[in-house]
Structure 1
Amino acid sequence: MYYSIAGEAHDVNLSDQRLLDLGIRPKFRREMSLFGVLGISFCAIGILNGMSSAIQTGLFSGGPLGLFWGWNICSFFMLLIAFSFAEICSAYPTMGGLYFWVCKMKPDLNESVFTGWLYSMAMVFTGVSANLSVALYLSSMAEVGQGRTLTRSRNRCDRMGRHMSTLFVWWTLGGTVVLVTTLLVKAPMKNSADFVFTNVQNFTGWQSRGFVVLLGFLQAVYTLEGCETAAQVAEEAVRAEILAPLAVVGSIAGSWLIGLAYLLALLFAVQDIASVQATTFAIPIAQLFYDAVGPQLTQLCLIVIMVSQVMAAITTFTASSRLFYALARDNAFPLKKQFLTLNRFQAPYWGVWTSVLIGCIISCAYIGSAIAFNAILSSAAISVMLSYLQPIIIRVFWPDSIQDFGPFRLGKWSWPVNFASFLFTIFVCILFILPTAYPADVLNMNYSIVAVGGLLVVITINWFWWGRHSFKGLVKTVTI
């Protein structure tokens, strides 16, 4: 078979056939194996850095009981979401991910470009969060090693720009062994199983034990977001209709198991939760390590996590650049020519540097106001879940929206899996905007609803001012 572009005929590679059926011209070299695609999602999830950066959320809201059971319950439902996405990704293995899926399943909803804009901003915000965390780890290392406390204006770090998803998989596996072994061998006191599986902690001010435990679930959801990132490199993978969905599901399954091992080591080794809560270190996990393994090994543990965090930030900006490329291809993003330009490494570098630029602007909020910056970061997590919700809603209420399924198909389990994913996503979105401390004041209020609301307002204005005139649906770039 052949496809034509401007009157020229080209041979069709088997790996590109499904892409051609979707009306998209193959432009990227297909060089990524299952391990590489899996590494992208695995890296975006960032199990070691995600859990380490957010452990205090569950530790102070529910304690060990909330962390252990919250991790397993949320992992199960996030696995269902992964199965839902894998089925869609197998049918539409192309760059753009959630945005393309929504457009293809409900082409009459031109407002589906909202999904792309919202999700692209969510990924950029997530990258900003990762870069801030790197700065906090550096600050904590300085505090542990030299007793120095860095101010917010000095808590900054540079961005890196190259792809290292395969290395990340090995780093995560090796890092998990290092962290778990160090904690379990060196901790002077090991907690009992009763403490790990039943102890409840509450530093929130709320009196409802059940609500406090639920707040701790947010740590697990925040850590496990990102499985769908494999779709952003689908056009660069061999047999993407098979490898991409396997990577989506495999990244969650692997993260569930690795995260459980790391979490249990942390819970068995934590010496004093009150000490972690009252820490003066830039990031609370540093205090947990310091109490359990001492200053020197704490430095080692923080280095392992920080490198993992750097790789996660790189992957996030890599994925967002691919999404900008997909949006520009469909006239859903300004400066189409620029954002479709690839460098000699086949990277859409305009998207990369736009992600970095937006990240730098947002990071300035951290210098001016920690409250404003935290609101922006918390909005990243809920923006991701709101983006997840849109293709899931279509699969629940329009179950026939996929006409041509790929090799990965759920069959009779498709609707129940999507319905359970729908309920869980709604639950999490509500949970993310609830106040996490009582009584609430200007310093501890959960401003995520304000930040997300502001983002939605900006997206809506952009739609009426520019998007509705330019975006007319998916653009076919090839004729078969």
Structure 2
Amino acid sequence: MSATAYEHTSKVEVVIERRNAHLLTRDEETLAKLGYKQEFKRAFTMFETFGLVFSIIGLFPSIASVLVYAIPNGGAVSMVWGWLVASLFLMTIALAMAELASAAPTSGGLYFWAHHYASPKWRNLFAWIVGYANTVGTIASVASIDWGCAVQIMAAATIGSPHLSFSPTTSQTFAVYLAIALSHVVVCCLGTAVLARLQNIYTFLNIALCLAITIVIPAVTPKEYHNTASYALGNFTNLNGWPNDFAFFLSWMSPVWTICSFDSSVHISEEATNAATAVPWSIVLATGVGGILGAAILIVLSFFMGTDMESIVNNPIGQPMATILFNSLGRKATLSLWAIVVIVQYMMGSSMLLASSRQTFAFSRDGALPFSRYLYRMNSFTGTPVNTVWFSGIGAALLGLLSFAGPAAISAIFSISVMGLYIAYSVPIMCRFAFRGSANRFEPGPFYLGRWGLPIAIVAVHFMAFINVIFLFPSTPHPGANDMNYSIVVMGSVLIFSLTWYYFPVYGGVNWFRGPIPTINPQYIGSEEGNSDTRQSDVALEKKVDT
């Protein structure tokens, strides 16, 4: 390299470093205005912030985990059209959340917004309820992802056994589940920079798997499993006994659980560079890409899965997606592809635990969780909140004990992960518009919907309320004790506990909880003069580089 070229490259690097320094300063100033000091290392780039949300969506492994809800409740129609219709509604949630995330990018996210935008009379209670719903919802999301991963591993064991003879017991599946959950704890205790770089691997592997499925299945599936367009896009198969229209809504568990956890990137706001822009766009882009790629996968499946829906659901393999792949690819090819599915599902759990631990950290920072004084600690070696990683990981492991109460009980984890988060999402979105005047301190960030904000918020909140009601119903119209939907029991217990503790005499949160606790003087703003001087020097340096 010539001396001139080397000097030019060096100057470019200086400009980039100065620009990055501006971003960090701007992020820290924004966080200071919200009342918090910078405690995390900001190591997540915009692509890695997107990668966190996209890896949690997981697409193909996620669809594999919840396909059992779509096939019995409408078959091909619910798989394709249910996904497309629900995806449009899910985008409204993403947009409403993105607007809030851009205005106040902090790890506390949802409960911080609820407190920030509600009236003084209600803000403490709303923040309390949202914080607990969000904490439980994220922990349940970890549990549902890890349980899906355990089931996928056991499905691989069944496929590999002679004549599909292996049938895993609940204890065996739970043991695998426990190992997955604990290994995720170890991974998420790593430093922020390592966790950020992992998202790149997760994202590329996720996209590669989606593309491989859409290419391989049409190419190798035997003709006996090929379906006509009229069947793939118009057949409605109802195996569970609900009226067809209601069954169609029940099938929405598949897209709603898959494209969920919009708040995951919000909880790493204090670890992301240019968070006010990166976080909202990561939510919107991940939701859009997930909706499009997910629709493509499901259309391919509907054309190449055959017509015997009952055999797909009740196959000895015990996993509808694995059964479809087995029919299309055979034993060896299915096991090879399924190994990648398991790896991607495992990565989903790791990313979700990362987001959950940050929500727990933020909530304990404000003293709202039991043992907050122990949870709100940053590990000096890794620079991450190791204690809250263990708290969320152990909480997820304990939720897995529901598996011993039967399939319906463990299915409640999937419902809770959606219901808890939808409660947490709805309240701050409503507060953003419901409380006007001096109590509402909404100041738009770089991502702003303008006049479209209100109608989008109305649609999003009504959709989430509708889904929460739908998910309280059992899978069949006349359930026995083993087929009941236990979501209301588990979620109701959590809400009752949180409200009881809030209003408990003397020791309850109503006596001491005041919402987010500033860890820095909110009046602090970085030196504008210093920033101006630095920006001017950057402009001069860029002119030199250009010439």
In the alignment, structure 1 residue 81 sits paired with structure 2 residue 115? no
Is the Cα–Cα contact under 8 Å of residues 138 and 261 in structure 2 kept in the other structure? no
Give the equivalent residue in structure 1 for 2:171: 153
Give the equivalent residue in structure 2 for 1:177: 211
Alignment of 1:298-337 (within 5 A): 298-337=334-373
Structure 1 residue 14: deviation in Å?
Answer: 2.3
Matching residue within 391, 410, 414 for 1:354 = 391
SS at match of 1:446: coil
Measure the CA separation in 2 of the matches of 1:278 and 1:27. Answer: 50
Matching residue within 370, 382, 390 for 2:419 = 382
Structure 1 residue 470: deviation in Å?
Answer: 3.4
Structure 1 residue 29: deviation in Å?
Answer: 1.6
Partner amino acid, structure 2, of 1:88? L
Unaligned runs of 5+ residues in structure 1 are: 1-11
Is the Cα–Cα contact under 8 Å of residues 160 and 331 in structure 2 kept in the other structure? yes
In the alignment, structure 1 residue 426 sits paired with structure 2 residue 476? no
Deviation per residue, 1:5-32 (Å, 9 max, x gap): xxxxxxx822211111112111112121
Give the equivalent residue in structure 2 for 1:9: none
| Structure 1 residues 402 and 408: CA distance shift in structure 2, 3 A | farther
Alignment of 1:270-281 (within 5 A): 270-271=305-306, 272-281=308-317
Partner amino acid, structure 2, of 1:316? M
Partner amino acid, structure 1, of 2:77? L
Is the Cα–Cα contact under 8 Å of residues 62 and 213 in structure 1 kept in the other structure? yes
How many residue pairs end up in the alignment? 469
| Structure 1 residues 478 and 66: CA distance shift in structure 2, 3 A | same
Q: Tell me which moved more, 275-284 or 134-143.
A: 275-284
Matching residue within 108, 128, 133 for 2:148 = 133
Compute the TM-score of the two structures, normalised by the length of structure 1: 0.93
Give the equivalent residue in structure 1 for 2:489: 450
Measure the CA separation in 2 of the matches of 1:447 and 1:340. Answer: 32
Q: Tell me which moved more, 238-247 or 289-298.
A: 289-298
Measure the CA separation in 2 of the matches of 1:419 and 1:278. Answer: 40
Structure 1 residue 83: deviation in Å?
Answer: 0.6
SS at match of 1:433: coil
Structure 1 residue 399: deviation in Å?
Answer: 6.0
Deviation per residue, 1:345-389 (Å, 9 max, x gap): 221111110111112222223235444333344322221222221
Is the Cα–Cα contact under 8 Å of residues 329 and 475 in structure 1 kept in the other structure? yes
Structure 1 residue 333: deviation in Å?
Answer: 2.0
In the alignment, structure 1 residue 72 sits paired with structure 2 residue 84? yes
Partner amino acid, structure 2, of 1:379? I
In the alignment, structure 1 residue 297 sits paired with structure 2 residue 333? yes
Give the equivalent residue in structure 2 for 1:474: 516
Alignment of 1:92-131 (within 5 A): 92-106=104-118, 108=120, 109-111=123-125, 112-131=127-146
Q: Tell me which moved more, 440-449 or 189-198.
A: 440-449
| Structure 1 residues 198 and 333: CA distance shift in structure 2, 3 A | same
Structure 1 residue 435: deviation in Å?
Answer: 3.1
Give the equivalent residue in structure 2 for 1:57: 69
Partner amino acid, structure 2, of 1:456? L
Structure 1 residue 38: deviation in Å?
Answer: 0.6
In the alignment, structure 1 residue 239 sits paired with structure 2 residue 257? no
Partner amino acid, structure 1, of 2:78? G
Give the equivalent residue in structure 1 for 2:18: none
Measure the CA separation in 2 of the matches of 1:395 and 1:140. Answer: 45
Is the Cα–Cα contact under 8 Å of residues 234 and 240 in structure 1 kept in the other structure? yes
Deviation per residue, 1:111-161 (Å, 9 max, x gap): 121111111111111111111111111111111011322211111332322
Is the Cα–Cα contact under 8 Å of residues 38 and 230 in structure 1 kept in the other structure? yes
| Structure 1 residues 63 and 311: CA distance shift in structure 2, 3 A | same
Measure the CA separation in 2 of the matches of 1:430 and 1:365. Answer: 22
Structure 1 residue 423: deviation in Å?
Answer: 1.5
Give the equivalent residue in structure 1 for 2:8: none
Matching residue within 258, 269, 276 for 2:293 = 258
Structure 1 residue 300: deviation in Å?
Answer: 2.2
Structure 1 residue 230: deviation in Å?
Answer: 0.6
Measure the CA separation in 2 of the matches of 1:399 and 1:75. Answer: 31
Measure the CA separation in 2 of the matches of 1:446 and 1:360. Answer: 20
Is the Cα–Cα contact under 8 Å of residues 264 and 356 in structure 2 kept in the other structure? no
Measure the CA separation in 1 of the matches of 2:406 and 2:251. Answer: 25
SS at match of 2:47: helix
Measure the CA separation in 1 of the matches of 2:512 and 2:304. Answer: 56
Larger Rg: 2
SS at match of 2:108: coil
In the alignment, structure 1 residue 460 sits paired with structure 2 residue 492? no
Matching residue within 320, 323, 326 for 1:284 = 320
Structure 1 residue 420: deviation in Å?
Answer: 1.0
SS at match of 1:13: helix
Give the equivalent residue in structure 2 for 1:187: 221
Is the Cα–Cα contact under 8 Å of residues 45 and 227 in structure 1 kept in the other structure? no
Give the equivalent residue in structure 1 for 2:26: 14
Partner amino acid, structure 2, of 1:133? G
SS at match of 1:443: helix
Structure 1 residue 319: deviation in Å?
Answer: 1.0
Is the Cα–Cα contact under 8 Å of residues 62 and 215 in structure 1 kept in the other structure? no
Measure the CA separation in 2 of the matches of 1:153 and 1:390. Answer: 39
Partner amino acid, structure 2, of 1:457? I
Is the Cα–Cα contact under 8 Å of residues 27 and 274 in structure 2 kept in the other structure? yes
Partner amino acid, structure 2, of 1:151? T
Structure 1 residue 464: deviation in Å?
Answer: 2.5
Partner amino acid, structure 2, of 1:374? S
> Sequence identity, in percent?
25
Measure the CA separation in 2 of the matches of 1:82 and 1:326. Answer: 22
Measure the CA separation in 1 of the matches of 2:112 and 2:346. Answer: 28
| Structure 1 residues 25 and 85: CA distance shift in structure 2, 3 A | same
Measure the CA separation in 2 of the matches of 1:435 and 1:389. Answer: 24
Is the Cα–Cα contact under 8 Å of residues 313 and 319 in structure 2 kept in the other structure? no
Compute the TM-score of the two structures, normalised by the length of structure 2: 0.82
Measure the CA separation in 2 of the matches of 1:445 and 1:357. Answer: 26
Is the Cα–Cα contact under 8 Å of residues 15 and 240 in structure 1 kept in the other structure? yes
